[in-house]
Amino acid sequence: MAVAEEAWNFRLLGHDPSAAWGGGSLVEVRNRHAYVGAVGGSSFSGNEGFTVHDVSDPRKPRKVFEFLAPPGVHMHKLRYVDGDFLYVNSERLTGERGKDARTGFYIFDISKPAEPRQVGFFDTPGSGPHRFGVDNARKLAFLPNDAEGWNKRVIWTLDIKDPLKPEVLSIWGLPWQRAEGQGPANDPHPAETACTLHGPPMIRGNRMYAAFWGGGVAVIDCTELSDMKLVGHVKWSPPFVGSTHTAWPIGDRPYLVVTDEARAKQNYWDSQFMWILDIRDEANPLPVATWFPDRDKYFNRGGRFGAHNILENIPAEGRFANTVFITYFNAGLRAVDVSDPLRPAEVGCYVPACPDGQKAIQSNDVGCDEFGNLYLIDRWGSGMHILEYTR
């Protein structure tokens, strides 16, 4: 059933349903090109791999390149690396399909933005990295990856000064993830209560913040990357569902925005949502507020309803200051003002039109270009919507 577009303080500039063959996971926009990783066949009837789109004119995006993953490989997360490189994960598909997968990440040269060229591969054990991050200012990459002696995914911190030759600086997990004598785990899709790094971890000053799926949120002293120490931790699963996805600071303020990822089976009234954590006392991070869209409105839309990821930058100043752009699956993209962290307030939303033939809108992730245009990615067929935030 077709559902009309919903827009408040957003304006649609362009739409490319071919992004990631319709089913996108994550987008990076650089040099007037959008790179979109695909959710693939496990949750959408599309290919595994990624596509590239010329967005020089955001009103007329067009696909210029596609890369198909080898058999057994899930490549849905990608990150731009300074020097015109693109890292793309190579995660193992579950079960028999992924038994022969080479896990780690691909390194592409994108100096010609429309013609990515593979120039390297970084191998990692186990199920391979999931939602990894790149900090171009610090020349670091953070991988949620399995490791010997640890139970499930932990934080791999890589030095990427030479993007072609990443070097492991440290492998660190929560103390209770230690599993001495065990080989790397191999669980690409752990349960929502599993203590496994989701990420991406991020660094502000000498602190790293990381979300651990069923394992809560950690504040980590990373003064010495090779000797990181847990400073504070909070966990709410159980009693809450879990699937803690992202933890990101609000500018330079002592608060974190945290999302738990919604799952279809928790759709609606017990769906995962957005939290604000007070980290004034880092040793004792505390939730202080929660935020939800109007759930009743999306009750009959189908698909998942609930939080997923945010635009991974909440600046202290500028046009987007104190604004969280959060994807909410069938409730699209929401803009939330967190100036008062105790009272987050919605200030805009964009829910793409759901065309006939598509079961539901499932807004998965959001990216941004150098001009402040937002790129909203749908995982169930609508591909990429390019938006202007008009507030």
Partner 1 sequence: MCENCDASFPQVRPSAALIARTRDIEAGLPGDRVEDAAFEVFFGRRGGSIPWPQYQRLAQCMEAAMASMPTRMLCCDDGADGALSPPLGAERVRVRWRSGHTGSTDLAAETRRLGRLQGVRAEGSLTSH
263 contributes a contact to partner 1 by CB under 8 A: yes
Q: How far is the CB of 332 from partner 1 (least distance, A)?
A: 12
Interface region with partner 1, contact rule CB under 8 A, candidates 82-90, 98-106, 204-212, 284-292 = 284-292
265 contributes a contact to partner 1 by CB under 8 A: yes
Whole-angstrom Cα distance, residue 346 to residue 343? 10
68 contributes a contact to partner 1 by CB under 8 A: no
Contact present, 340 and 346 (Cβ < 8 Å): no
Whole-angstrom Cα distance, residue 1 to residue 188? 33
Nearer to partner 1, 44 or 105 (CB): 44
Instruction: Select from 163, 303, 332, 352 the one that contacts partner 1 (CB under 8 A).
Output: 303
Sheet holding 49-54, edge to edge: 24-30, 33-38, 49-54, 62-68
Task: Indicate the residue type of 175.
Answer: P
62 contributes a contact to partner 1 by CB under 8 A: no
Helix (H, G, I), strand (E, B) or coil at 295: helix
Q: How far is the CB of 371 from partner 1 (least distance, A)?
A: 28
206 contributes a contact to partner 1 by CB under 8 A: no
233 contributes a contact to partner 1 by CB under 8 A: yes
335 contributes a contact to partner 1 by CB under 8 A: no
Whole-angstrom Cα distance, residue 373 to residue 358? 25
Nearer to partner 1, 136 or 186 (CB): 186
Burial of 311 (0-12, 13-18, 19+ CB in 10 A): buried
Q: How far is CA 59 from CA 17, 377, 386, in A?
A: 13, 16, 8
Whole-angstrom Cα distance, residue 164 to residue 174? 29
240 contributes a contact to partner 1 by CB under 8 A: yes
Interface region with partner 1, contact rule CB under 8 A, candidates 105-113, 117-125, 303-311, 367-375 = 303-311
Helix (H, G, I), strand (E, B) or coil at 7: strand
Helix (H, G, I), strand (E, B) or coil at 109: strand
Nearer to partner 1, 80 or 329 (CB): 329
282 contributes a contact to partner 1 by CB under 8 A: no
Whole-angstrom Cα distance, residue 39 to residue 69? 12
268 contributes a contact to partner 1 by CB under 8 A: yes
Burial of 125 (0-12, 13-18, 19+ CB in 10 A): middle
Instruction: Select from 102, 287, 321, 353 the one that contacts partner 1 (CB under 8 A).
Output: 287
Q: What does the per-residue mask of binding to partner 1 show for 371-390, with x meaning CB under 8 A?
A: --------xx----------
Q: How far is the CB of 297 from partner 1 (least distance, A)?
A: 8
39 contributes a contact to partner 1 by CB under 8 A: yes
Q: What does the per-residue mask of binding to partner 1 show for 165-204, with x meaning CB under 8 A?
A: -----------------------xxx-------x------
β-partners of residue 156 are 143, 171
Q: Using CA atoms of 276, 280, 286, 290 in order, give the dihedral in degrees to the nearest 10.
A: -20
Q: Where are the beta strands (DSSP E) in 299-352?
A: 323-327, 333-337, 345-351
Contact positions toward partner 1, by CB under 8 A?
25, 39-40, 42-44, 74, 76, 94, 130-131, 188-190, 198, 213, 216, 230, 232-236, 238-241, 243, 261, 263-270, 284-296, 299-300, 302-304, 308, 342-346, 359, 362, 364, 379-380
